[in-house]
Structure 1
Amino acid sequence: MLDVTVIEDPEAAAVSLDPIRARLLAELAAAPASAAMLAGRVGLPRQKVNYHLKALERHGLVELAGERRKGNVNERLMRATAASYVISPAALPAVQPDPDRFRDQLSARWLLAVGARLVRDVGTLINGAARARRRLATYALDGEVRFASAADRAAFVQELTAGVSALIRKYDSPGAEDGRDHRIVVALHPTVKADGPPAADPLPAAGTSPAPGERPGTPDRTASEPDQ
């Protein structure tokens, strides 16, 4: 079983979003089970559960884990193909976010579009690598930092931009014949706590200016994640 897989097919996405089928996926991610075993857990007749399992199996969301004899019946034990699923924006191609349509490094919505593109692109790479039976070279950096002030955060963003830009200039080889293009995404955002969303920065007092890199009333920004 994979830890996470990306759903790109619109029909598979619709199947996974059905509440009953999502519940079945959760059960089968925990352990293999038959339609009869699942029926008691979800409060549905076995035939109804079997109908939902077949729909999930058609779209590659569950698979056969084994069979066992119970009385006069052979039971099929099914399992989820992944512990968790992510629906790619590619499942809604006509309305998927396009970061190039509106670029604003201080916009939370632009960050969301960049993140959606990251999910789409990495999902496509993962699925392609799986079909080709090849490993995919990726890298991610995840961390947290607490800034003493908005000014410190702005200074951090400036230094981060300068540092990453210097690395790009150092290693970028546009003329390399055997080279391969990679995209790097660097983001910084306040940590979202379990008890609710982060508070927005207060507006600056009258007669004062925002710190460098800040905009009045702008929700906070985002933290690093290079993808290859």
Structure 2
Amino acid sequence: MQDIGVIDSAEAATAALAPIRTRLLSELTEPGSATTLAARLGVPRQKLNYHLRQLEKYGLVELVEERRRGNVTERILRASSSSFVVSPGVMGRVQPAVGAEPDQASPRWLLALASRMVREVGELVVGARRAGKQVGTFGLDGEVRFATPADRAAFAAELTDAVTRLVSRYHDDSAEGGRRHRLVLGMHAVPPGTADASGSTTPDSSTPVSPTAHREEKNDV
């Protein structure tokens, strides 16, 4: 079983996203059969057999073994991955496009960057598995609490300057055998109600603000 599976076709996404099938994928992180799943979920075995065949058709579940029980052969299945992500590429022409003109303050542009990253890393994961290789990536995640929107803007400016200097130091167009890497930096407010590492939740920020502050924060969520 892989740690993450990439769903990169519209047909596979359609097969996976029906609620009963996402439940089956969750249940099949441990091997099971239509019979055991029917007893657990309270759904007729014949109905589950159909859904399992559809999941198996697109490689979302895989056969572990077959067991003979009297005149019946019980097929033991498990999910091919412990978790799944749907590549934005399945949306074809309507997936978010990064475009030629960046808008660093636009949520749409941030979503377009994130969508491209999911799509490209997904392609790398699929290709690496076929070739029996590993994918070299790096991820960094954290939180910072700003006192004011002005502090946030200053942080973004300083971060941009620091990253620009670092890229200039390591970027080498002439290196033989070098490989391009995608660098994406993004920042957004934590949605209200989201727990942090300590278990505390982010309060609802929809408190009244002064007209002056409103001009700075009117687009914040």
> TM-score of the superposition, structure 2-length normalised?
0.87
Give the counterpart letter for 2:15 in structure 1. Answer: V
Q: What residue in structure 2 maps to residue 123 of structure 1?
A: 122
Q: What residue in structure 1 maps to residue 32 of structure 2?
A: 33
Give the counterpart letter for 1:17 in structure 2. Answer: L
List structure 1 runs of 4+ shifted beyond 4 angstroms. 195-198, 200-204
Q: 2-side partners of 1:183 and 1:104: how far apart?
A: 18
Give the counterpart letter for 1:139 in structure 2. Answer: F
| Matched positions, count | 214
Q: What residue in structure 1 maps to residue 2 of structure 2?
A: 2
Q: What residue in structure 2 maps to residue 205 of structure 1?
A: 211
Q: What residue in structure 2 maps to residue 163 of structure 1?
A: 162
Q: What residue in structure 2 maps to residue 70 of structure 1?
A: 69
Q: What residue in structure 2 maps to residue 217 of structure 1?
A: 218
Cα distance change, pair 134–107 in 1 and its aligned pair in 2 (3 A): same
Q: 2-side partners of 1:204 and 1:166: how far apart?
A: 38
Cα distance change, pair 178–90 in 1 and its aligned pair in 2 (3 A): same
Structure 2 gap segments, 5+ residues each: 195-200
Contact 1:7 1:87 in 2 (8 A): yes
Q: RMSD value over aligned CA atoms?
A: 2.3
Contact 1:6 1:87 in 2 (8 A): yes
Q: What residue in structure 1 maps to residue 58 of structure 2?
A: 59
Contact 1:200 1:219 in 2 (8 A): no
Q: What residue in structure 1 maps to residue 22 of structure 2?
A: 22
Percent same amino acid among aligned pairs?
Answer: 49
Give the counterpart letter for 2:36 in structure 1. Answer: M
Q: 2-side partners of 1:199 and 1:175: how far apart?
A: 49
Structure 1 gap segments, 5+ residues each: 221-228
Contact 2:149 2:217 in 1 (8 A): no
Give the counterpart letter for 2:211 in structure 1. Answer: A
Q: What residue in structure 1 maps to residue 84 of structure 2?
A: 85
Range with greater deviation from structure 2 (61-70 or 73-82): 61-70
Q: 1-side partners of 2:128 and 2:203: how far apart?
A: 36
SS in 2 for 1:191: coil
